[in-house]
Structure 1
Amino acid sequence: MLLQAQQPTITFRVKNGEGKLVRVMRPLDGKYFVAFPPEDTLNASGALVLPNKEKVPGVFGFTYKKMYRLYVRPGKQYIITIDESNKTAPVTFEGPDAEGQQALLNLSFDFYQSAAMRHYRKDTVFASSSRQILKEMDSCLQPFNDLHAKHKIDAAFYAYAQSLVKNYYASVLGATLILPLRAMEFNKDSARYDAALVPEMDATWRQVLAVADPADPASMIADTYVDYNNLYTMWYLDYFLPRTKGPVVQLEREAYDEKLYATLRDNFREEPLREYLMATKLQYLLLENRFESYIPAWYDDFVGQYPNSPYIPLLKDGAEYVKTYFKKIKTDFAEGQQFVENYAAVETMDELAAKFKGKTVYIDLWATWCGPCKAEFAFNEGLKKFLKKKGIASLYISIDRDQADQHWKDMIKFYNLEGYHVRASKKLSEDIRKVFGKNGSLYIPRYAVLKDGKLVLPEAKAPSEQDALYRQLEAYL
């Protein structure tokens, strides 16, 4: 009888985690490629078991309350266990490269811009904040330096850890320059112009680039690289350098995106990095449901340049979705899509709420540029049936600016948003921030409930939280 070797697996386990949700980011041919992975449910043992089908080493990202990275080699077995009750060792690992994997699992990064602003607020002098940031970077790298020196991780694992950490801290370092860059005066005729600041800023950027090379193709394996490359492309190549050469015309969003795409395409010519970056830029636009008119052309151009690209299957559905959008927006508004009368003149939430006396209303605060807002629209069919059955009205309040007026109306058609619609005026937007914001910031999507012309629930459940939302709404009938 022929015996076959059992296929190796990758197990992510949470103690007492049965039925809980986890998201898994899988590598693509060993590279990190951004996606919105679906949620997987942990089984009765609190585990998610995946076959290890990898052909080359790559990194899996498991998101359960935070991100856990796992360096996976072909043909190897891995087990990660999360035990939140164990304060000494909340994360344990079984498998190859055990000490290196444990050091990797112990890493936790804040969003790089938040980390940068924290450092900048403490000390606006780059030399000082740079010393602190690089000190943190060295501390993160130290365990991997020691393990490599002791031959407990090989050169490939070590190179990955270095790329992951260095690209993150280069992003943090570069992001501390955003506010100083925006404050710079580039007009030589201005009284504020300081000729010494331009070479000084360029030299400062060179210090950032010395931490991590934004054109290093080896970085494609690390999830921290894309943010770093975006930061470098946007703020150094597309913002700083052009302004050192003369006046720059302020562009509308679509023209700006095309200019940024051209900057990316023209400054990164080495393959396979160029293909990777162009695919990544397209993927971000598709995942955010941006529906820009140039996306189909960019996609067709990418397919023409790289007909055998492994990224095409991951981009195709999104590109077709955008093409469908442009067909659908040519139709008329549906009967159930109504605009609040004279909405442009409404200046406060109290004024808006007063228009709905005698009704219970579910409010959806959104914007055309908000990816998570649009992701929630996928749950609208069930919500629509519930609201109709219970006699509850829906009110969609967009906080888009005037320039996005047509885009806003197009998206109402495309997403079939039945209910009342308002695009907030400048004064209403300001009042919305006072009513729903915290410390001057407003996070969307945001949901609320009106009853008889009054705001009764400023923080309601989202459409995706179906049962919990329905119970919440029934309490106000």
Structure 2
Amino acid sequence: MRLSQFIFVILLPFFAVCQGKKTEITISGKITGKIPETIEYTLPINGIDYFGFTNSAQTDAAGNFQIKIPSDKTCFIELSTHYQSYGVIIAEPGMTYKVSIHTEVKDGKFKVESKNEKAQALYNQIPNRNMIVGGHFELETKSLMKDSIISRIKQKLEQKRETEIAEFQKLLKDKTISKNFYNLVQSDRNFFYKGAQGSLAFINYLLSAQNKNALSPEQYKKLWKEIFLSNPVNSPELLTSPWFYYYTENYLRYQELIVEGTPSAAISEYHKQGLIHTHNINNAKKYLTGQQLEYYFAAYIYYESINKNYEKELITLFEQFKKEYPNSPYTHFLEPVIIPVIAFHKKKEEPLNEKIKFIDKTDSANLVKDVIKELNGKRFYIDIWATWCGPCKEEFKHNAKLYELLKSKGITMVYISIDKDNRDKQWKEMAQFYNLEGYHIRANEKLDTDLRTLYGNQSMGIPWHFLTDENGTIIKKSLSGPSEIENLEKQLNEVNP
């Protein structure tokens, strides 16, 4: 995955991973505040799980729900709605848990009532326990990016791991938690911090191409190699870890980039040919076997599909997966995320909506004012987006109401993409797939710079919506997107009722 996406993408929720006679885990709960129609929960499959492999339970009008999961192992079960995590239960076979979820309070929104509820609360307080609350490897390494002393890096990571584990050791000693409970938490923390160490090495490898690496090649290679000696990918403990996919992904990078010495130019060529995912799976097949490979293959397809880049090779890989694993329990979870990819490519065969207008002469469009000068209209609603931006594409679901509102106000719709040249084809295909009615321009370098200047920060956050007059002068610098159509209407009325 590209580093910019790898570090900044709004990242997705935790695994539910189970660690034997199979018996039921029962979870009864109540949601107060805004009550979703269903609550999703991760499922233990073959002793390992993934955040995308979930089932759901219906909530009643009062917010009550009940979940029963057959399992023979202690496991993490993540409760969420649309990748928004409520919290995690460390669940043991035969036990019953009562959960309270408050959707409209910041603190204390998730509570588990059980004989080990103190430990449940303790785990949910860990700041890096979940990817969507800052638990990704790359986020953990941010404070270490400028450190050039390996021993100090390892010491800092180990101190954090020991601090988090220490409280659970006390609970184990006074028998508040079982040995299985403790072992699962310990494994989780071990692989998380080793994964962070490997991630730091990988980032230094990437930065070395620009001479911005804090660690020398000898240092980051050593740092990287060490984690797979102490915590190997074929460890049974890794198969019970929530970090299996991401840890294994880091291992495969190490094998390809360091051990095999594959040049970046070769990997770039796979990208150009539209075969990078096929290459990555073929690379995984060299180092993984059996259950590990099946799980990784399925998790890879799921993860790349929900990124909504709609690469056609994912369809081919899905068909390949079904052929190689005809009875896989993971296929059921892959089908819903592959369907939109198939739909995307079918849409390309349809005629282009005449209301989608691409502005092809972009060499002279170096400022927002230059763009507006070429268009007819009195006011313009500008949507800054990119094909790799998940939140941007989520907004497009609400465009029908947006177009109706803009038409009533006499406002012209303009989409400006900040995609680079190599995504020109995908930019046009996505505009067609999402039926983005209005004018479209892909920013050149100077227009991109102008946008960041207008935004006021080089790290421009997108989607970004603003309003200009007929000369391209900004009237309202920050507007709501179509998902908040009522608020957007109020904002437009304030500018010009």
Could you tell me the TM-score, scaled by structure 1's length?
Answer: 0.83
- Check conservation: 1:365, 1:446, Cα contact below 8 A: yes
Cα offset, 1:44, TM superposition: 7.6
Distance 1:92 1:312, change over 3 A: closer
CA contact (8 A) 1:217 1:272 kept: no
Question: Post-superposition shift, 1:312?
Answer: 0.8
Whether 2:461 is the aligned partner of 1:443: answer: yes
Q: 1:142 to 1:250 in 2, by over 3 A?
A: same
Tell me the SS of whatever aligns to 1:362. strand
Q: Deviations over 1:264-312 (max 9, x none)?
A: 232111x211111100100011101121121111000000011111111
> Is the aligned partner of 1:305 residue 2:321?
no
Name the residue aligned to 1:9. 27
Deviations 1:423-449 (A, max 9, x none): 1112212222222263x2123222222
Alignment check: 8 A CA contact 1:175 1:231 kept: yes
How many angstroms does 1:410 deviate by? 1.2
The answer on 1:249 being equivalent to 2:266 is yes
Query: SS of 2:138's equivalent?
Result: helix
Aligned pair count reads 454
Moved more, 454-463 or 73-82: 73-82
Closer, same or farther: CA 91–298 of 1 in aligned 2, 3 Å: closer
In structure 2, which of residues 174, 177, 181 is the aligned counterpart of residue 153 of structure 1?
Answer: 177
Q: Which amino acid aligns with 1:241?
A: V
After superposition, the C-alpha distances for 1:68-116 in whole angstroms (9 at most, x for unaligned) are 21123455332344689898x7764311432332221221213431220
2:14 maps to none
**What SS does structure 1 have at the residue aligned with 2:308?**
coil
Whole-angstrom distance in 1 between the partners of 2:296 and 2:145: 29
Change (3 A) 1:37 1:418: farther
| Cα distance in structure 2, aligned partners of 1:38 and 1:421 | 39
Counterpart contact for 2:277–2:313, Cα < 8 Å: no
Match of 2:200 in 1: 176
**Aligned partner letter, 1:423:** R
With 407-416 and 317-326 compared, the bigger mean Cα shift is at 317-326
Task: Kindly indicate whether the alpha-carbon contact (under 8 Å) linking 1:451 and 1:476 is maintained by their aligned counterparts in 2.
Answer: no
Equivalent of 2:350 in 325, 331, 353 = 331
Q: CA deviation at 1:412?
A: 1.4
Tell me the TM-score normalized by structure 2: 0.80
Give the distance between the partners of 1:67 and 1:398, measured in 2 at CA. 34
- Contact conserved, 1:21 with 1:39, CA < 8 A, in 2? no
Task: Give 2:142's aligned residue.
Answer: 117
Distance in 1, Cα, partners of 2:226 & 2:194 = 9
Partner of 1:72: 91
Please name the residue that 2:21 is paired with. none
Partner Cα separation in structure 1 for residue 408 and residue 293 of structure 2: 53
Give the structure 1 partner of residue 159 of structure 2: 135
Q: Is the 8 A contact 2:468 2:474 kept in 1?
A: yes
**Are 2:279 and 1:259 aligned?**
yes
1:474 aligns with 2:490: no
Q: Tell me if the contact between 1:347 and 1:425 (Cα under 8 Å) persists in the aligned partners.
A: yes
Does 2:411 match 1:392?
yes
The yes-or-no answer on 1:52 pairing with 2:52 is: no
Aligned to 2:5: none
Structure 2 unpaired stretches of 5+:
1-24, 129-133
Which runs of 5 or more residues in structure 1 are unaligned?
A: 1-6, 186-191
Change (3 A) 1:251 1:264: same
Q: Report SS of the residue matched to 1:395.
A: strand
Q: CA deviation at 1:117?
A: 1.9
SS of the residue corresponding to residue 232 of structure 2 reads coil
3-state SS of the aligned residue for 1:50? strand
Equivalent residue for 1:238, pick from 246, 256, 267: 256
Please provide the CA RMSD for this pair: 3.5
Partner of 1:203: 222
Q: CA deviation at 1:211?
A: 5.6
Between the two proteins, what is the percent identity of the paired residues? 23
Indicate conservation of the 8 Å contact 2:205/2:217, yes or no: no
- Aligned twin of 1:189: none
- Mapped pair 1:365 → 2:372: no
Q: CA deviation at 1:402?
A: 1.0
Moved over 6 A (4+): 20-23, 36-45, 82-87
What is the match of residue 402 of structure 2? 383
Q: Aligned in 2, Cα 1:19/1:99: closer, same or farther, shift over 3 Å?
A: closer
The partner residue of 1:167 within 186, 191, 198 is 191
Match for residue 427 of structure 1? 446
Seen in structure 2, the aligned counterparts of structure 1 residues 102 and 332 have a Cα distance that, compared at 3 Å, is same
**How far did residue 371 of structure 1 move?**
2.4
